[in-house]
């Protein structure tokens, strides 16, 4: 199957807009061929995940694009980098690695993207409209933009997101098409108690179940309460995109494309319906904790995806009057930090012992104490990636559990609603 290019796309390919755009168009059309797409779709915005240092090869690619004169053609935000520019020394890279990480971040800015440096661009002013075609990278960001905002993006790999931003095109397949946005699975959480479903700690665990049940399929989730806020949906999607390749879920009655179950199934019976039992949920929660010890913690980390202003307000309320005994890292972006600074929340948070990690996060850069130990988190995504990326074992708990444990210097979890 050949990819049919429109005249303007063919011109890009032939170098009408310079060698960087031509290279980007070669990569975009090659990606289309890989996926069996026969055309490209114009996109309105992009979010780039390629700015995190994984090795010199990625730096060389970004610098090649810059040398060839590459510029983004649509509004574009940047995902996290590997350095915290505001707190030098906090990321403990050797000087050579830090220099390469810095070069990648500078090259990412040089293509004309906004220096948002956040994995929650949707909470930093980048909110595509319902139905908009966009080209986003980073698995949680893609899951949110599709599910919660109802815009349309596939899960783009690093490099392809940049190439789409430069060409203002994406391969037209998958989640750009109505058919692929239909749910084929149903995940029914309605048997779980309303109290459990009212907890913040429920949503990452539900997401972990969703990811392992759905894989890359689109699921309709029943039992998410009406009015569930977007931070909970963000946590749900981030966990689902970690344990599975979930790019879109529909919370029936909550997310914009899912007014009811019939609408998301599109008149086709679901291939599978799974009823989530309390035992399944407990098992998924237990898999998020890998620590062998019962009560030891060495650090706490929150903010994956990056903490929103609303999450900081909740943390500030819980941390009032506390003094943490272990390092407590809260990862966020510049826009979210500016908001809580304006509200005067930063000083009391720091007073309790909260360390703000800006532009990056603790599982993508060496920030945690050098002696690996036990990391407590309220994030399904941190819990999933921390063991391999940091060497820390994990304990999963609610935000309130994290604060209570940091203050006590040992694990304190409220188990009542999970039993």
Partner 1 sequence: MVVKGRVLVEGSAEGPLLRLTAPLSFWGGVDPKTGRISDPRHPQHGADVAGTVLAVPVPRGSSSSSAIMLELIARGIAPAALLLGEADAILALGIVVAGEMGHRTLPALQIGAEELAALPQCRIKVAADGTVTALP
Q: Which residues bind partner 1 (CB under 8 A)?
A: 23, 26-27, 30-31, 34-36, 49-50, 52, 54-58, 60-61, 64, 137-139, 142, 154-161, 171, 215-216, 241-242, 244-245, 290, 363, 385, 387-389
Query: Nearest 5°: phi and psi at 302?
Result: -130, 165
What lies within 8 Å, CB to CB, of 159 at 6+ separation is 27, 50, 58, 61
Q: How far is the CB of 156 from partner 1 (least distance, A)?
A: 6
> Residue 48 or 345: which CB sits closer to partner 1?
48
User: Which C-beta is closer to partner 1: that of 352 or that of 364?
Assistant: 364
Cis omega before residue 305 (within 30°)?
Answer: yes
Closer of 31 and 252 to partner 1 (Cβ): 31
CB of 15 or CB of 157, closer to partner 1:
157
Q: Which is nearer to partner 1, 48 or 265 (CB)?
A: 48
Residue bearing tokens 């810095």 = 102
| Minimum distance, C-beta of residue 103 to partner 1, in the bound complex (Å) | 15
Beta strand 219-222 pairing with 272-275: unpaired
Nearer CB in complex with partner 1: 275/389: 389
- CB nearer to partner 1: pick between 56 and 191: 56
Residues with Cβ within 8 Å of residue 13, at least 6 apart in sequence: 5, 22, 25, 26, 29
Q: Give one word for 18, left, alpha or beta, with left for phi > 0 and alpha for psi -120 to 50.
A: left
CA distance 58 to 45: 22
CB of 211 to partner 1, least distance (A): 9
User: Which lies closer to partner 1 via its Cβ, residue 163 or residue 319?
Assistant: 163
Where do we find the tokens 């904790």? 289
- Residue in the block written with tokens 């000087």: 95
Rounded to the nearest whole angstrom, what is the least distance from the CB of residue 238 to partner 1 in the complex?
Answer: 11
Beta-carbon count within 10 A of 348 CB: 14
What is the smallest separation between the CB atom of 58 and partner 1, expressed in angstroms? 5
CB of 210 to partner 1, least distance (A): 13
Q: SS3 for 348?
A: helix
Q: Considering the complex, what minimum distance in angstroms separates the CB of residue 269 from partner 1?
A: 23
Least separation in angstroms between CB 186 and partner 1:
21
CA separation, residue 126 to residues 118, 144, 406 (Å) = 11, 12, 33
Count CB atoms within 10 A of the CB of residue 273.
Answer: 13
- Give the whole-angstrom CA distance, residue 265 versus residue 7: 37
Q: Which of 242, 257, 74, 237 is nearest to 152 (CA)?
A: 257
């Amino acid at each position: 199957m050949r990819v049919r290019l429109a005249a303007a796309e063919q011109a890009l390919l032939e170098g009408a807009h310079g060698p960087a755009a031509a290279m980007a168009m070669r990569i975009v059309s090659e990606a289309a061929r890989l996926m069996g797409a026969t055309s490209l779709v114009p996109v309105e915005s992009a979010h780039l995940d390629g700015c995190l240092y994984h090795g010199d090869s990625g730096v060389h690619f970004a610098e090649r694009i810059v040398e060839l004169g590459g510029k983004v053609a649509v509004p574009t935000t940047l995902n996290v980098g590997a350095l915290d520019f505001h707190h030098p020394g906090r990321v403990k890279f050797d000087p050579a690695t830090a220099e390469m990480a810095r070069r990648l971040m500078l090259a990412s800015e040089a293509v004309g993207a906004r220096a948002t440096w956040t994995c929650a661009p949707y909470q930093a002013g980048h909110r595509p409209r319902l139905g908009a075609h966009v080209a986003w990278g980073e698995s949680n960001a893609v899951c949110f933009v599709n599910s919660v905002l109802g815009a349309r993006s596939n899960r783009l790999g690093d490099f392809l997101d940049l190439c789409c931003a430069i060409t203002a095109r994406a391969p037209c397949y998958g989640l750009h098409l109505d058919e692929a946005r239909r749910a084929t699975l149903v995940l029914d959480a309605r048997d779980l108690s309303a109290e459990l479903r009212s907890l913040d700690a429920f949503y990452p665990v539900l997401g972990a179940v969703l990811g392992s049940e759905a894989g890359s399929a689109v699921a309709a989730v029943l039992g998410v309460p009406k009015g569930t806020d977007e931070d909970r949906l963000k946590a749900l999607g981030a966990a689902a995109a970690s344990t599975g390749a979930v790019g879109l879920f529909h919370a029936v009655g909550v997310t914009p494309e899912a007014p009811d179950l019939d609408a998301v199934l599109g008149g086709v019976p679901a291939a599978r319906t799974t009823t989530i039992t309390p035992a399944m949920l407990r098992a998924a929660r237990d898999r998020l904790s890998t620590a062998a010890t019962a009560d030891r913690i060495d650090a706490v980390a929150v903010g994956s995806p990056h903490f929103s202003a609303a999450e900081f307000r909740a943390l500030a309320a819980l941390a009032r009057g506390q003094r943490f005994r272990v390092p407590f890292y809260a990862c966020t972006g510049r826009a979210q930090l500016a908001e809580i600074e304006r509200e005067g929340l930063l000083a009391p948070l720091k007073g309790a012992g909260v360390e703000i990690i800006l532009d990056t996060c603790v599982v993508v850069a060496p920030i945690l104490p050098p002696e690996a130990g036990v990391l407590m988190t309220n994030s399904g995504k941190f819990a999933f990636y921390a063991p391999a990326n940091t060497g820390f074992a994990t304990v999963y708990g609610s935000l309130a559990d994290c604060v209570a444990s940091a203050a006590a210097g040992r694990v304190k979890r409220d188990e009542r609603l999970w039993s």
